[in-house]
Amino acid sequence: MKRTNVFIVIGVWLALVMPLGAHGDLWPSGLVPPSDPQPDPQRQRPTIANEPDGSQRVTVTLSDPAKPATLEMNIVMGSVTVKGVNRKDVLVEARPAAGPSRRPASDEPPPVGLRRLTQGTPFDVEEDKNTVSIDLENPTRATDFTIEVPLRTNLDIETVQGAVSVEGVDGELEVDSVNGAVNLANVGGCVVAHSVNGKLVAAITRTNAGQPMAFTSMNGTVDVTLPAAVKANFKLRSDQGDVYTDFDLQTRAEPDNPNPNPRAGRRGVVRTSVNIDHAVYGAVNGGGPDFEIRTFNGNVYVRKGK
């Protein structure tokens, strides 16, 4: 038999035992080929609205509205305001920030009879398994964000040149600003908040049992209000200010040599350096996880809430 006839016979045999599937692919008889994933008809596409003042609104649906959401964003210029409301999606509003921009100024004067139009700020919003991520396409354009999230939402927010405000959100909250104040109002869960150059004010309504928290600044007052029944071990410190509290703090002294650091000196003599920490350590309501509240320049206030 010639080689050509052999190929024909094999081709006929394959056609009989492996019929073409629905997609035109070879697939074993009796097995159903996998179907292409179909879009969820119950899930809506993001809705976008452009306003005359240059602001933009985007409504993002969540993969599972019954579970907590997560918001992640890291911007260079602009402030971020997050509000926890009774909703099952995320509303993002972005508008050009007031004040000077870092983009180079144009030397051309505006033409006579023409007016400059306000351009919207391009940004990306992505949702994946209840995590909403926001990124700016042009970091030199200062942009202020106002975002509404479900009441139970985890936050991971960073900004370089701008303030961060969070209100009415319960979850794992991580907030960081380099040049701007941080204001947390009526939030609950676990909080780690920091500002390099700015005041930090936090009013905590609920804490997670057993989880540590931190509120710190380099140049700014740190003012924290905690539930009266909170159980925690405090570490309070201000290098260039004072520390105040109305909690019944059971202070405790640190060991005489809390951080020994032995090192070899000249002629083989072992020397030990000690870092003396002048922070105030103490337990409230019997103690619990560690809460660090600290600043370098400014006062520290730890207030007893309701």
DSSP letter for each residue of 90-146: EEEEEEEPSS--SSPPP-SPPPTT--PPPPPPPEEEEEETTEEEEEES-TTS-EEEE
Structural domain that includes position 223: 181-306
120 domain residue, yes or no: no
43 domain residue, yes or no: no
Quick: pLDDT tens for 210-250: 999 999 999 999 999 999 999 999 999 999 999 999 999 99
The per-residue pLDDT string of the chain (306 residues; one tens digit each, 9 = 90 and over) reads: 444 454 444 454 444 544 444 444 444 555 555 555 454 544 555 555 555 556 789 999 999 999 999 999 999 999 999 999 999 999 999 988 875 554 555 567 777 777 655 555 678 899 999 999 999 887 778 899 999 999 999 999 999 999 999 999 999 999 999 999 999 999 999 999 999 999 999 999 999 999 999 999 999 999 999 999 999 999 999 999 999 999 999 988 764 445 555 555 555 555 555 555 679 999 999 999 999 999 999 999 999 998
b/e map 223-259, b = 16+ CB within 10 Å: bbbbbeebebbbbbbbeeeebebebeeeeeeeeeeee
143 domain residue, yes or no: no
85 domain residue, yes or no: no
69 domain residue, yes or no: no
161 domain residue, yes or no: no
Cβ–Cβ under 8 Å, residues 249 and 226: no
- As for how many domains the chain has, the answer is 2
| Beta pairing, strands 182-197 & 170-179 | parallel
6 domain residue, yes or no: yes
